[in-house]
Structure 1
């Protein structure tokens, strides 16, 4: 597609967002985004997402046979860029359907799974959560103990998951469980699609320092899962998990990359000096790196562990921006007013370097798998 045509598409998208985005779908200044604890907001976000889909602005590069448009991947990048640069929620659907579950099914699912789930992910008829981390081994995924026992036509799953984002909203759970022995480590894992309304599933919201219960602890007690809900092959869950984690880190890193740019620009507007200008320059570089990696992903190339660099760089840059803001803006950030959002951003940023792999874990991953360094270097 010629660059002039893409520029025309960008102008069209920008005009569409300005005319159609409702006020409640605006991202707060100085903050990373939005939250799904308020039922009124959830309904508005899902409605907004379906408006985006009907306008042809969601799933642009996804295959037509699964509800997408099968169009130029650069258009998808443009839509995301325009929306977030305007401070507009994109997409609207909560959960990890578009960013994690969808790619996992696209790359590893069978034809029946693709037809059953993918379009409903695009339309936000289904909301997804992810069941990876466990209390025993949050940073060592290969050590999980949640067990899936083969019963012939189905599996029985028992175990406990933690830090499951948006589980309270989800009707499907992309869950990693052990089907082999603990000694097999990553070779004994299998990925499952689990209906969150299945008998034997209970959950407990985890209240965070910001007062919001965005995560949940999930308990699985003799949960029956049909064999057709295995994603990929039994015993090859690690391979599927690596795809999902790479996309998760890319998408979380992308959200952080846009938030870094937005927060840095706002901070420069309030307090323009050498420090804040340097933060803005760093933010622009991170955004450029993210765009390049996202383009590879949208072309259908299975991206690798290098995506961890986006999440690592953006999360640490975002934390740095909020620390700088708090130090430069003074006690006014603690009082209701124009600067109050910065205090919430500061609190939230403490978790950004922990979720989806701590900074320490990601540095090890990049060193070993991307740079080829020996363990411990």
Structure 2
């Protein structure tokens, strides 16, 4: 298999490099990422700059702000962008990679017109109102209720672990509209103005000292029916569109997180006397290389216009576990003080590794998906499969 760029891809890569060398240099100043407000402003400005050039939505038609490009061109841009110190905030990508693709698949023309371009330009930030205290891995266990009242829906419930809800302008919401239907059938998908009366956001302080996650309380929140996405009861279908995009993105390799070769270099530079487990390092390096070539396989599917589907969950599953093992070894090599340097990759990896095994689908859920939907193994026994949600305990 040839992993080199084709002639047209190499030409596009050259154009991207030239543009990034011109516009990305000096975009971020030291400590910009330490101040949340400054980082958000810079991320929105960078998103707007990309949108003006068509790089914010490469695969979209030119008439809609894209380049009429290919999935491979999008991958090439992301690869080249990752080599520059530019602010690519998750509060931006939740909108561009999760909310907008779901709206473009299931939304009305009016919804697409209202939200697509402002989100693309970085003017609207989004959050994902899915998880609840009793609906995390089992997302279909959502208990937030939506009751029709005239032309509105009245929402009551609680969401939790909602990333960047405290800065979001809009949210995508999964709520239960029919408690007498089975748990996967009685759900409906909405978009929510996060500045509405009835929305209360409470930041959760993390062990790192920052607050990226939030609790969100919805109390008699009124959502006009025009902000319902898809048909009533089709919320699960919309949510799966969102989650498949999330798992592909979460499983991607990040330049902000460490790799095995960087750990080897770190160990050689230090005089702590700590030694590496060579067998374990070889195992992690093998996993990392295997993962890289597995991603090439996914890219080959994309280049042919195919959708990777549930097999993409394998990338996220392996990467999350490899990163956690690597981060634990980094702690052994550098010691705790060595992970506390500001902006250190290994510190970031250590803080993020455990969370990555939960974000975008837990290990257990992904293993079930791979077993059932990729390998064709029998599904787990579900005692609540054919009974109304109101009778589930």
TM-score, normalization: structure 1? 0.88
SS in 1 for 2:185: helix
1:300-345 deviations in whole A, cap 9, x for unaligned? 655532222121111111112211211222354145479x542342
Q: Is the 8 A contact 1:176 1:241 kept in 2?
A: yes
Q: Is the 8 A contact 2:70 2:303 kept in 1?
A: no
Is 1:52 equivalent to 2:50 in the alignment?
yes
Q: Is the contact made by 1:26 and 1:87 (CA closer than 8 Å) also made in structure 2?
A: no
Partner SS, residue 94 of structure 1:
helix
- CA drift at 1:283: 2.5
- Residues in 2 aligned to 1:138 and 1:67: alpha-carbon distance in whole angstroms: 35
Q: Does 1:258 align with 2:254?
A: yes
Distance (whole Å) between structure 1 residues aligned to residue 80 and residue 62 of structure 2: 24
- Deviation sequence 1:67-122 (CA, Å, 0-9, x none): 32222332111000112245654478635011111110111112221122112221
Contact 1:191 1:237 in 2 (8 A): yes
Higher relative contact order (CA 8 A, sep 6+): 1
CA distance 1:91–1:336, shift in 2 (3 Å): closer
Cα shift at 1:63: 3.0
| 1:17 paired to 2:20 | yes
Q: Which moved more, 1:287-296 or 1:13-22?
A: 287-296
Distance 2:201 2:15 in 1: 44
Moved more, 44-53 or 292-301: 292-301
TM-score (norm 2): 0.84
1:41-190 equivalences under 5 Å are 41-86=39-84, 88-90=86-88, 94-181=92-179, 183-190=181-188
2:376 corresponding residue in structure 1 = 372
CA RMSD of aligned residues (A): 2.9
- Segment drifting more, 260-269 vs 207-216: 260-269
The secondary structure found in structure 2 opposite 1:169 is coil
Matches within 5 A, 1:182-261: 183-254=181-252, 257-259=253-255
1:286 aligns with 2:291: yes
Q: C-alpha offsets along residues 155-198 of structure 1, whole Å, 9 cap, x if unaligned?
A: 11111101111111111110000011155201000000111111
Runs of 5+ unmatched residues, structure 2: 269-275, 382-393
Tell whether the 8 Å contact from 1:175 to 1:193 is kept in structure 2 after alignment.
yes
SS in structure 1 of the partner of residue 355 of structure 2: coil
Please say which structure displays the higher CA radius of gyration.
Answer: 2
Partner of 2:356: 352
User: How far has the Cα of 1:149 moved from its partner?
Assistant: 0.5
Residue 31 of structure 1 is matched in structure 2 by none
Whether 1:319 and 2:324 are equivalent positions in the alignment is yes
The count of corresponding residues between Structure 1 and Structure 2 is: 368
Q: Distance in 2 between matches of 1:344 and 1:299?
A: 35
